[in-house]
Structure 1
Amino acid sequence: MALPVFLLQHPELGVVASFFSIAIAFTALVPDRFPTLTTLYSILTLAGELGVASIGMAFLMITGEFNLSVGSVYALVPMGVALMANSGVDLLLASIFMLALAFALGVLTGYITVRTGIPSFITSLGMMMFLRGVLLAVTGGFPVRLEVAHWLTDVLNGPIGTEGLRTSAIWLVLLTVLYAVVLDYTPYGNWTYAVGASAATARELGVRVQRVKLVNFGLSSLMAGLAGLMAFSRFKVVDPTLGQGLELDTITSAVLGGCLLTGGYGSIAGTFLGALLVAMTRVGLVLAKAPAYWYSAFIGVILIVATVINTFIVKKFVTAG
């Protein structure tokens, strides 16, 4: 039983195998364009923005909840920052305010969920639709461009050198390490796992279940907002439709990293690798000149397969143990 136990302790190993398999496949399909530094940096740039949002989603999923509003928050935060900065508010202050608002919106979604017992799928779906509607109403459906220069955009997602690497990749690594340490080596991480495994048991052990869920809802929105700021810092323009579909990409990244849809299990390192895999798939399909709809189909297959494998491993070996 040594191997099954090892696999349970390291859910990220599955995505490592998938990552290299898909990388080999794209190398064979596009040998002159895929295995290059330019492609690698493109993958890291996309993964930087997606991965930051996925880390927050993974933390929440481990508690057994979802936040489908992350895509709307991903657009809301930079849109608010752009409008405020263009009106004369310092970009840093505007960013802090909007990130605090993102956290509060996540907590609000969590509060409605835990107080009413309505599934988070429904409450966060409602929040997603509400926020997207607000964005479209405020902007009239038109994009907003940042009209002022500020050092913060270079810090969040500025270029490093001339080859295409950006600071978002560094932020992703730093935040992955931070959240992995919190999840695996602090009492709060233990509470997060405990709540997802069995909220009733965790409550009996003295864990403040509702508080843990509220904080993790807030973190999921906060990280989505930060990721949106990173994307905004790269393009200096934000569209009210930005982030549509992000909720599915973040869930896929988390599931690839070992998170169960039922909670209680997952890995931040695995989620990091899952985001890399999703980003690599998008870039690889573009290089292979595949139609855009193949991306959704490919990611859908990956999500189903990863969910089946994760569920099988946990049920078989945890139950057997």
Structure 2
Amino acid sequence: MDNIDHFNLRSFDLNLMIAFDAMMQEMSVTKAAEKLRIGQSAMSHNLNTLRMLLGDDLFVRVGQKMQPTAKARALAGPVRTALSQAQNALQATDCFDPTTAERVFRLGVTGEMEMILLPALLHHLQQQAPGIKLLSRPITADSVDMMVNTGEIEMAIGCKSQLQTGHFGEVLFNSEVACCFNADLVGLKAPISRDQYLASRHAVLSQTENVAGCVGVALQGLGIELNVVLAAPDFMPLLAAARNTPVIATVPCRIATQYAPLFGLSYCPMPIDVAFPPVTMNWALWTDKDVGLVWLREQIRTVIASIAPDHAVLAAE
């Protein structure tokens, strides 16, 4: 969020923004004054003060009607949004009834959480809180801090790196990966050995310019170099590639458990012991007491607990 100049705002009468919004809605000094329950002279005074402060006429008479200037049109949306947010904040309560609540929750999710959490969470919420809607946005390690700080998202789910100070966070689960492949194309059967894994061609997740991806980088720390022939920012292209090409797609275990069978792929644990950062859920300090978000965080924990854990892949095939 941009820094707020509290000193300049303190010297600016925010009631003027209310007068501006009323004028934009009514396009009549008389009607705007009636809407605000003030005299017409007081309304005219407010508009004249705004014109002086903003250096623009804001509203001009064209024939028998008042028309907003270009500057007024540009201001209208942000002012309306700010007043709406202020009204919602003042009307906020500590009560949240999921059975009757109507609210849009803005979630930032990684590709992994997009595939394994959102479908299950939506199904759960439709039963528990039919008036709740989810607006999801993709997040990356580079974008997540800004998106939380600006309020673009209310929670970040799936991060594997520490967020900046000013955030709360908790571990949802420890991350493990699995190998997905077309047994007929690669000529292998699950489980595969370390030598078979290293001798194969690979498809990995990468959200940077590094073709090695997160898996390749982790293995480089062990002195191991993978032959990566495809690096993509999402998991679906990796699974699709493994279905049609003799490559091994290394993906999170929960992705493998749910989606590998849909692509006709065999899957098994990665035959090299590599430690990956845990998957976390993070939110800003100023949203910690939001009763709706407190409730939603608990629903996310419940849904995650119901999804097959990473070790379940060990029993596959």
TM-score bracket, normalised by the shorter chain, equals: under 0.3
Between Structure 1 and Structure 2, which shows a larger proportion of strand residues?
2
Between Structure 1 and Structure 2, which shows a larger proportion of helix residues?
1
Using the size of structure 2 for normalisation, the TM-score is 0.25
Using the size of structure 1 for normalisation, the TM-score is 0.25
The structure with the largest alpha-carbon Rg is 2
Q: Greater RCO between the two (CA within 8 Å, min separation 6)?
A: 1
